[in-house]
Amino acid sequence: MTIEFETPKPIVQQQYVLKTVADNMMRPHARYFDENEHEIPWDYINFMHQAMKASGAGSLAPKEKKDADPNKPKRPPIGYQMLAHMLEIISWGDAGMYLVTPGGGLGAAAVQSAGNPEQKKKFLARFAGDKPTFAAMCMTEAGSGSDTSSIRATAVLDEETNEWVLNGEKIFVTAGEKALTVREETGKGFIVVWATIDPEAGRAGMRSFVVEAGTPGATVTKLENKLGIRASDTAVIVLQDCRVPFENILGKPTVEKTTKGFKGAMATFDATRPLVAAIGMGVARAALEFLKEKLAEEGIEIRYGVPRNRLTSIERDVIDMEVMARSAWLMVLKAVWMADNQKHNALEASMSKVKAGDVGVKITQKAVEILGPLGYSREYLLEKWFRDAKITDIYEGTGQINRLVVARNLLGYRGSELR
């Protein structure tokens, strides 16, 4: 099987549409939602919901399988490649606003990967409903971020009522407020909460539970004020004797010796890490393009093909930045191509995220440096992209944790052997 580097036609068509969205719905409002952190960009949300519904892209509901036409040539799968390109371009528009695009996010991804057919039908179908709907994933706790095995939230089965009783506090939940709040403007969202059903069992006791918006005992207690991606809400959620029906558990309700369920959750990251990397690459490209545009206004064009010793220092810097961006993007493309072709891509997924995290910060920082006051001023979005870029290196596994994953995969160590 060979990788095709030419962007497939259906993706090019989507890129064209999304560039228009980025230009008209995102860029003009990016500064406003950066400066008004907890305001909700309803125009963008409603537009995207309708657009995704019309194109079928918003529906995560299990689709009825149609009989394939045996005479039609089989197209290679491009789902993850498509997503990577879409996320890159839309984050070029604004990474913070991208994170409030309605749909399931990581919460729906958890249901998709660990839910049974009834759960998928019940919870995922709502994203194709009349109103924009949100879901979120609650894993991180104070003292349990990178080391997910130390989660302390608990889920205890009340056998009389056949309900799970959840207790604990989750922090840094992206879209947590939108997913958990009952609103006229939105459909019924949900959060997926990670908790232990047996604190003695370590990872084998970890399960995830769907908590629907409006469930008593699940409360948003704080919204973070952040450095970047400020259009996106990041919530603290407290679960206090929060009761959910027995059937809201994702995976088996009994503890077994294996950590298969937990590994399954970690495997979702193999699919999503390259996509997070793609978001970072969109921010980096925005900064790089802006830099070249401003240099061109000053009459500085980059002379490609001229020997390096004859280039100016700025030309060398820009070319180095472009090389960094392209090499990171190639890693993203390889990781999503592997995901599309069902190849084990834990190594490539983490590599792409490490690289994109580093490159995004370096490119935006260097662009600010080269443009000086222009880069530092709030008159332009460059200083914002500098702040937005850092998140790629933090969520869905920090740079250090993804380096550990890379090292384990290269050296053949298990998690317990190299930590």
Ligand X SMILES: Cc1cc2nc3c(=O)[nH]c(=O)nc-3n(C[C@H](O)[C@H](O)[C@H](O)COP(=O)(O)OP(=O)(O)OC[C@H]3O[C@@H](n4cnc5c(N)ncnc54)[C@H](O)[C@@H]3O)c2cc1C
Q: Which residues bind ligand X (CB under 6 A)?
A: 106, 136-140, 145-146, 172-174, 226, 234, 391, 394-395, 398, 400-401, 404, 419
Among residues 147 and 320, whose Cβ is nearest to ligand X?
Answer: 147
61, with CB counted inside 10 A (0-12, 13-18, 19+), is middle
Beta bridge partner(s), residue 167: 154
For residue 250, the surrounding DSSP H or E stretch is strand 249-250
Residue 293, number of CB atoms within 10 A of its CB: 9
Among residues 381 and 404, whose Cβ is nearest to ligand X?
Answer: 404
Among residues 50 and 219, whose Cβ is nearest to ligand X?
Answer: 219
Length of the chain: 419
Cα(204)–Cα(202) distance, rounded to whole angstroms? 5
Among residues 120 and 226, whose Cβ is nearest to ligand X?
Answer: 226
Put residue 122 in one of left, alpha, beta given phi > 0 → left and psi -120 to 50 → alpha: alpha
How would you write 51-95 as a 3-class SS string? HHHHHCCCCCCCCCCCCCCCCCCCCCCCHHHHHHHHHHHHHHHHH
Which pairs count as long-range contacts for 293-302, CB under 8 Å and 24+ apart, including other chains?
Answer: 294/371, 294/374, 295/370
Report the nearest approach of ligand X to the CB of residue 38 (Å).
14
Report the nearest approach of ligand X to the CB of residue 419 (Å).
5
Per DSSP, 306 falls in state S
Report the nearest approach of ligand X to the CB of residue 106 (Å).
6
Among residues 37 and 163, whose Cβ is nearest to ligand X?
Answer: 37
- Nearest Cα neighbor of 22 from 68, 78, 73, 88 is 88
**Tokens in use for 87?**
């996320």
Report the nearest approach of ligand X to the CB of residue 278 (Å).
17
Report the nearest approach of ligand X to the CB of residue 3 (Å).
30
N-to-C CA span, the chain: 34
Report the nearest approach of ligand X to the CB of residue 105 (Å).
8
Cα(383)–Cα(161) distance, rounded to whole angstroms? 54
Quote the Cα angle for 159-253-151, to 5°.
105
Among residues 25 and 401, whose Cβ is nearest to ligand X?
Answer: 401
Beta bridge partner(s), residue 137: 192
Tell me the catalytic residues: 396
163, 190 Cβ separation under 8 angstroms: no
Report the nearest approach of ligand X to the CB of residue 396 (Å).
6
SS3 content of the chain, % helix, strand, coil (to 5): 55, 15, 30
Among residues 197 and 229, whose Cβ is nearest to ligand X?
Answer: 229
Among residues 145 and 187, whose Cβ is nearest to ligand X?
Answer: 145
Residues 6+ apart with CB under 8 A from 156: 164, 165, 167, 197
Report the nearest approach of ligand X to the CB of residue 179 (Å).
10
Backbone torsions φ then ψ of 238, nearest 5 degrees? -105, 135
